[in-house]
Structure 1
Amino acid sequence: MAPRANWKGFLRLSLVTCPVALYPATSDTEKVSFNQVNRKTGHRIKYAKVDAETGEEVAAEDIMKGYKVDTDTYIEITKDELDDISLESTRTIEIDEFVPKADIDSRYLIRPYYLVPDGKVGHDAFAVIRETIRNLNKVAIGRVVLTNREHVIALEPLGKGLMGTLLRYPYEVRDEKEYFDDVQDVKITKDMLDLAKHIVEQKSADFDPEEFDDRYETALIELINQKRNGLPVAKPAPKSTGNVINLMDALKRSLANEQQAPAPAKAKGKKPKKRAEGQREMLLPIAGSGTAAGKRAAKEEPKKAEKPVRAPTRAKKAG
């Protein structure tokens, strides 16, 4: 099932306009998530919105936005007042300029979105805008309003659609000089640089995001499955800190270790790997386990040695 669009409106380049929808390009829903639970009853913890002074719960219709001036003073802002200052970019992404992609500092990048035509009309206008950006080999810069705030968005072709990346404003990016001024200027010998270069060459490979495993997520799943099946949870062995050695020795040992390790395999004609379905497939629920009655029933029944549910194995490279 396709996710819901975060935004719907129009994409406009001068007088060329088409209806579009903006979808999130990334998702965290496949990650393991936790709820807070009452240790004594096994019931989930819920939070109520209460008045900070009276302690009484406040109804949703009585809650409004306020800007804090000092400890006890807030400037109240109503929804109508926010609507009155809404910008045109609330419903339209107007392309203001085209810039080289290399000119965009990576610190300004926030998150990616997919931009597609909305409905059956406007596909021709969308294609004209998309191919214009592609032929120019540049990035289109516009503005869009999400969650009541206006954002700068950079648009570039991606297959049959457009990828839009939200950008930060200059005031949101900290000056690196505040952090780098105290970094000492040190002299590096040629031998050290040569050794480091050899290490880099041993570790060089083509970037492939499918090669990155979320090891913490895998460990979480194994921990949950072990506890679900009543299996003992083994404590990890203490990590060795190692002996302090000088930089030159560290470089030499690193190079020796890398030369002994197998070189990264370069696959030919790789097949697309099947995407993991997430925790719903990897973790199987226990009926009634969240309630006190369910816990009592679990204690009364003898536990069977159930095989832990493992994460889907990664497809091997072809070749």
Structure 2
Amino acid sequence: MAPRANWIGFLRLSLVTCPVALFPATSDAEKVSFNQVNRKTGHRIKYLKVDADTGEEVEAEDIMKGYKVDKDAYIEVETEELESIALESTRTIEIDEFVPKSDIDQRYAIRPYYLVPDGKVGHDAYAVIRETVRQMDMVAIGRLVLTSREHIIALEPLKNGLMGTLLRYPYEVRSEDEYFDGIQDVKVTTEMLDLAQHIVESKASDFDPGKFEDRYETALVDLINQKKSGAIIKPHGKAREGSNVVDLMTALKQSLQGGDAGKATPKAKRAPKKAAGQREMLLPI
């Protein structure tokens, strides 16, 4: 079944407009997930919404939103009041400006989307906008409304399409100063840097996500398949081996002489061609 668009509207650069659809570029749907089950009955656990003081269940129509201002004190907000301030979606991503991609701090990126032409018309205008962004070698910045909130989106060419990345607002990004201020100013010697650089060079490679395997996900699939086949699982804890404490210079030298960095990096096993998940590896019941 084709994925469902999260948003449908128009992409506009000045007077050039085309209909587009926005699809999430990532998914966790294929990951193994668990439900909570009653050990005695095998039935799934169901949660009820109850009053924190009385313990009585509360009907959906009696539940409203509240902003906490003090202990057990809330400013109550009605749904109608929220709807009155909700931004009306113009159903248009208006490109406001173009910026160098290097100017966008990675901390501002939230999640990626694919922006594609919606329907058979508008492909020419879409191509004009895409190639303009590509030729400028910059990122187009626009805004769109999702779930009543306005979001900033950065658009850049990806093959024959456009990838959009939702960006955070400045108030959502914490300053690094409160975390980094306590880091000691250590002088690193040239010899240490040279040794460390040799280690880095021995491990240098091109980024290929196909080389990486979600080992925990694979272990989960194996565990579930074993239990499906009736195998008895014996829990066992693997103690992590401790290492001798050595000084930094000795550790760097040992890494080059006989450590992992001195050895050829083994070729990582490629993940299955379908990168969506490993649910297809589960055995039928």
TM-score by length of 1: 0.81
* Secondary structure, counterpart of 2:213 in structure 1: coil
Decide whether aligned partners of structure 1 residues 14 and 87 sit closer, same or farther in structure 2, where only a CA change above 3 A counts.
farther
Decide whether aligned partners of structure 1 residues 126 and 277 sit closer, same or farther in structure 2, where only a CA change above 3 A counts.
closer
Kindly provide the amino acid, as one letter, of the partner of residue 41 in structure 1: T
Once the two structures are TM-superposed, the CA of residue 186 in structure 1 deviates from its matched residue by 1.2
Other-structure match for 2:55: 55
Once the two structures are TM-superposed, the CA of residue 74 in structure 1 deviates from its matched residue by 2.8
C-alpha contact (below 8 Å) 2:199/2:262 kept by paired residues: no
Aligned counterparts, 1:10-21, within 5 A: 10-21=10-21
Decide whether aligned partners of structure 1 residues 222 and 264 sit closer, same or farther in structure 2, where only a CA change above 3 A counts.
closer
Specify which of 258, 261, 264 is matched with residue 262 of structure 1: 264
Once the two structures are TM-superposed, the CA of residue 89 in structure 1 deviates from its matched residue by 4.7
Comparing 163-172 with 114-123, which one deviates more in the overlay? 114-123
1:253 aligned to 2:254? yes
Once the two structures are TM-superposed, the CA of residue 251 in structure 1 deviates from its matched residue by 0.8
| Distance of 2:262 and 2:176 partners within structure 1 | 38
1:181 aligned to 2:201? no
Unaligned runs of 5+ in 1: 287-319
| Distance of 1:254 and 1:53 partners within structure 2 | 60
| Distance of 1:125 and 1:276 partners within structure 2 | 32
1:280 aligned to 2:282? no
Other-structure match for 1:165: 165
Other-structure match for 1:70: 70
C-alpha contact (below 8 Å) 1:226/1:233 kept by paired residues: no
C-alpha contact (below 8 Å) 1:202/1:258 kept by paired residues: no
Other-structure match for 1:80: 80
Other-structure match for 1:301: none
Once the two structures are TM-superposed, the CA of residue 141 in structure 1 deviates from its matched residue by 0.5
| Distance of 1:119 and 1:153 partners within structure 2 | 22
Aligned counterparts, 1:143-222, within 5 A: 143-222=143-222
Decide whether aligned partners of structure 1 residues 57 and 118 sit closer, same or farther in structure 2, where only a CA change above 3 A counts.
farther
Once the two structures are TM-superposed, the CA of residue 79 in structure 1 deviates from its matched residue by 3.2
Aligned counterparts, 1:94-105, within 5 A: 94-105=94-105
The one-character-per-residue Cα deviations of 1:128-150 (angstroms, maximum 9, x if unpaired) are 21111111111011112223322
Over aligned residues, Cα RMSD in angstroms? 2.3
C-alpha contact (below 8 Å) 1:12/1:93 kept by paired residues: yes
| Distance of 1:98 and 1:276 partners within structure 2 | 32
The one-character-per-residue Cα deviations of 1:21-66 (angstroms, maximum 9, x if unpaired) are 1110001111110111111111110112223333333333333322
Kindly provide the amino acid, as one letter, of the partner of residue 230 in structure 1: A
TM-score by length of 2: 0.90
Number of residue-to-residue matches in the alignment: 282
C-alpha contact (below 8 Å) 1:205/1:264 kept by paired residues: no
Following superposition, which runs of at least 4 residues in structure 1 exceed 6 angstroms of deviation?
A: none
